[in-house]
Amino acid sequence: MTTTITRRSFLAGSVLLSIEGTLLAQQPAPTSAGVADPALIENLVAAYRILAQQGVLDGFGHVSARHNRAANRFIMSRSLAPELVTAADLIEFDFEGNPVDAKGRALYSERFIHGEIYRARPDVRAVVHNHAPSLIPFSVTTVPLRPMYHMASFIGNGVPIFDIRKSFGMTDMLVSDSAKGKALAQVLADKNCVLMRGHGVAVVGPTIQHAVGRSIYLEVNARVQSQAMALGGNITYLDPQEAQKMMDAGENRGYERPWELWKAKATGK
Amino acid sequence: MTTTITRRSFLAGSVLLSIEGTLLAQQPAPTSAGVADPALIENLVAAYRILAQQGVLDGFGHVSARHNRAANRFIMSRSLAPELVTAADLIEFDFEGNPVDAKGRALYSERFIHGEIYRARPDVRAVVHNHAPSLIPFSVTTVPLRPMYHMASFIGNGVPIFDIRKSFGMTDMLVSDSAKGKALAQVLADKNCVLMRGHGVAVVGPTIQHAVGRSIYLEVNARVQSQAMALGGNITYLDPQEAQKMMDAGENRGYERPWELWKAKATGK
Amino acid sequence: MTTTITRRSFLAGSVLLSIEGTLLAQQPAPTSAGVADPALIENLVAAYRILAQQGVLDGFGHVSARHNRAANRFIMSRSLAPELVTAADLIEFDFEGNPVDAKGRALYSERFIHGEIYRARPDVRAVVHNHAPSLIPFSVTTVPLRPMYHMASFIGNGVPIFDIRKSFGMTDMLVSDSAKGKALAQVLADKNCVLMRGHGVAVVGPTIQHAVGRSIYLEVNARVQSQAMALGGNITYLDPQEAQKMMDAGENRGYERPWELWKAKATGK
Amino acid sequence: MTTTITRRSFLAGSVLLSIEGTLLAQQPAPTSAGVADPALIENLVAAYRILAQQGVLDGFGHVSARHNRAANRFIMSRSLAPELVTAADLIEFDFEGNPVDAKGRALYSERFIHGEIYRARPDVRAVVHNHAPSLIPFSVTTVPLRPMYHMASFIGNGVPIFDIRKSFGMTDMLVSDSAKGKALAQVLADKNCVLMRGHGVAVVGPTIQHAVGRSIYLEVNARVQSQAMALGGNITYLDPQEAQKMMDAGENRGYERPWELWKAKATGK
């Protein structure tokens, strides 16, 4: 099977980027931060599969984790449907989206979402980008996505919307370079999620478990809000103070309890 | 994997509770009521798995049963995702939520929902706490959840809503101590379910089968009501007298028919 | 496991009915029409399982078929969750709901739905009773269920609603005797489906395949109509003439194409 | 199992069509364009199964591909539920819907949808006809289906609706002859999809992957739009220029990434 980005001959120690058909100048590949923690790799692979099983990711979308040995490196899969990702598909990147060693494999064109968020947010150690259908309505409407219940305390401080049209005019909607990634990260600011108008969402967290758990419950919260609003009554949303107290008490207990289940189901371990 | 509640060294015959990081005074552990009926244990384990398979529980929520040998003891799992629960995970508690012997394992922080309901309601022998997404809208809106069809006769006398904010102000939303459990039980009063605003529901029953069956059909009823209201016509709800006659005739025939199916699917037996 | 209807000692050649705890006079059991066509039995068992797999039946509801050897006998399962039904669970009944030989097994209390429809409608050879959640809203609202697309041509002549309250006042909602069955059959009249207010639906057909296929597409049509109405525009429903032409052309081609698939999936054959 | 179209004795080298019971004049069967590319056959079989697994097709609907050796021939299955299709079920047709060699097997009565689209649209190499429930509302309402997010760029130039009633009056709703197929193709014009009022949709593409991918995301887009409109706010739809830029950039990257996953799941390869 051919890949969407033209396969290039592998040039050891250099990067010849061919994105959307544009041949870029060759530049030295970034150096590796070294072998990542095996537990990090295992959890990152599980994250791809969990999010597919939970219906948050389909054939598109991706997850990344900051490298445990270097704050300026992150790890994500080569261009591949999430449910198929294995440890062998993971590649190390710098903030500019340059791979340490892609081994000729195609890359996600939106890896700049990840790189620029890691650059802007030192507290973030994992990023999910997904197109969950129940979230798209909130990305295109004037009705804000709000926390309906305790599982969504992580959006108690709001969910900003990044409209790529505001800064970049008419585009192909993709965050496919560093400039667009930076603009997205700026709208994300200090929040945990940023909706992308007519596209999807980026969700961040201090651990892979948080980014995955937030992605799952953000999707549930969107469904709950849609259904609550359809009932036509007055709604009591989670108060920002309530949300903050839940975050202080340990947001959803670090997602440890569901993570054990999700991982067991996704990896058969 | 570490647990959300700090593991404590096991102190035989005593309880050193460490909840949400607060070290409580050591007190004698409650005595056991003795070995529970194996059928009760089997059904309780099945209940966890059934509710996960039916989409009522996800990685959170829990089920308990009153001990068959002592009215002031109940049994529930250690802190664990419902789908993973086995008989070895079950622990005996007193009404104050003190475990007879936790063997150093983490406990559900909301076990006080169960303890205080058992204390207030001698007729109750099983309790389910869940966050089913279709119920959350009815916990936050001014539109009351009402019985749409014969399968929901158990809410013919109403579904009260417990808003933790009314008695406890801004909290982390969790019923994590006896005072909050008592307040919840007070709102439940003599009903079969109590919605918890921005959180979920507690469902009770005279048997495990009733608490499980009610949890499943309460979720279905919420979806049915949402869809019926969206149609925009006038709705004929189940009359309280009709609901009462169904309860008198044997509410959903004791859930025996679906229980046989649910248990077979959940346990492979 | 005990059954909801008290087990009675088996009295060869007679029927001692114990329904809802009322002991009825002993009467001779109806005679059997003889061994039914094995293909009929196979399709009837498949029907139970298909409707469970397709989400039309859950732990409740039932299917029956008129006996191929006698117009005044029908066959349905003993009281059992549909997904568990095998040929050994099938029992022959007369129109009054008397079993030829129940072998002491509990019976569906709503078998009178079937008996009275077979009596009133000589053209009917199969009946399904289900509580599909998407249908319940249309049973309780003033908004009529209407055919949205060609797969629902069988409701082109309307879907009446049976409100048990009109003739029987406050009841337990169940069609648990011949009088209620007759009233239901009267409202069904010459149609293919009759909604039961706050309860479910009865669907009939000239073959098991028709009754099953109609049950499946009636459920889909209800969802489609709910979604279409929520869009808020003007809707073009299937014209009664269009529906009639589809019926004349061979309603959904006798459901042969999906039946082959449904049966293969439900029975592993 | 008998087939819906009467089996006819096989007449080598000729076609004796019996459609809806009408015996047509015998005419010479079209000549074959030769053995098709095995990869095309493999992908076409996969397409049937993928669309069933993804919930776009149920027991009805079909997919076809233009023959790689002749622009005036296309390949589709005999009349069969999509999930059961294998390579042995594929038959070659001319634009008039005549099979090269049906081997006595029943044919899809709506194969004229495919033939007439291939005739009118030389750029089209694959056609899907489906009845996905979430699309039906948009086929019957005055509310137009519009692109909500980047995955639906292929409808940026609009989705026309074919109402068979406008040209053919009261019918059985089926596109069961060339005249109706031509009328449908005329409404499709140069677009990628055409809704069929009260029936379903036809989706076309330059490859099987495109026709399948578009079918899947068209269904998702319909759900997203329904949910967005139900929220009641103002919606920012994808701008036609944005959609065009996405198409120019390579619509969903040729669906290669999800295709690899879908095919693996559908065929076990």
- Give yes or no for a contact between B47 and B63, defined as CB atoms under 8 angstroms apart: yes
Contact A246 B172 (CB under 8 A): yes
Mean pLDDT over residues B154-176, rounded?
98
**Per-residue pLDDT tens listing for chain D (269 residues):** 333 333 333 333 444 444 433 345 456 899 999 999 999 999 999 999 999 999 999 999 999 999 999 999 999 999 999 999 999 999 999 999 999 999 999 999 999 999 999 999 999 999 999 999 999 999 999 999 999 999 999 999 999 999 999 999 999 999 999 999 999 999 999 999 999 999 999 999 999 999 999 999 999 999 999 999 999 999 999 999 999 999 999 999 999 999 999 999 998 86
Contact A227 B226 (CB under 8 A): yes
The 3-state DSSP class for residue C112 equals helix
Neighbours of chain B (3+ CB pairs under 8 A): A, C
Chains A, D: CB pairs < 8 Å: 115
Closest CA in chain A for residue D153: A172
Nearest to B74 by CA among B112, B105, B103: B112
Residue A254: list chain B partners with CB under 8 A: 4
C-alpha D156: how far from chain center: 19
Respond yes or no: is residue C96 known to be catalytic. Answer: no
> To the nearest whole angstrom, how far is the Cα of A186 from the nearest Cα of chain B?
30
Residue B242: list chain C partners with CB under 8 A: 165, 170-173, 198
> To the nearest whole angstrom, how far is the Cα of D58 from the nearest Cα of chain C?
8
Tell me what pLDDT residue D28 has: 82
Contact A242 B133 (CB under 8 A): no
> To the nearest whole angstrom, how far is the Cα of D125 from the nearest Cα of chain C?
26
Top residue of D153, D256, D267 to mutate, by most chain A CBs within 10 Å, is D256
- Give the pLDDT band (50/70/90) at residue C269: low
Contact A256 B1 (CB under 8 A): yes
pLDDT of C222 over the 90 cut: yes
Contact C231 D141 (CB under 8 A): yes
- Give the pLDDT band (50/70/90) at residue A251: very high
In B54-177, where does DSSP find H-type helix? 111-120, 136-140, 164-168
Top residue of A3, A18, A83, A136 to mutate, by most chain D CBs within 10 Å, is A136
Closest CA in chain A for residue D220: A133
Q: C268: exposed, middle or buried (C-beta count within 10 Å: 0-12, 13-18, 19+)?
A: exposed
pLDDT of A13 over the 50 cut: no
Contacts of B128 (CB under 8 A, 6+ apart): B47, B51, B56, B61, B62, B63, B202, B203, B204, B211, B212, B214, B215
Nearest to D257 by CA among A77, B126, B49, A24: A77
pLDDT of C144 over the 60 cut: yes
pLDDT of B18 over the 70 cut: no
Tell me what pLDDT residue A42 has: 98
Total H helices, total E strands in chain A? 8, 11
Instruction: Report the distance separating Cα B65 and Cα B90, nearest Å.
Output: 10
> To the nearest whole angstrom, how far is the Cα of D200 from the nearest Cα of chain C?
8
Reported ipTM: the value is 0.91
Contact B173 A261 (CB under 8 A): no
Instruction: Report the distance separating Cα B241 and Cα B243, nearest Å.
Output: 5
pLDDT above 90 covers what percent of chain C? 88
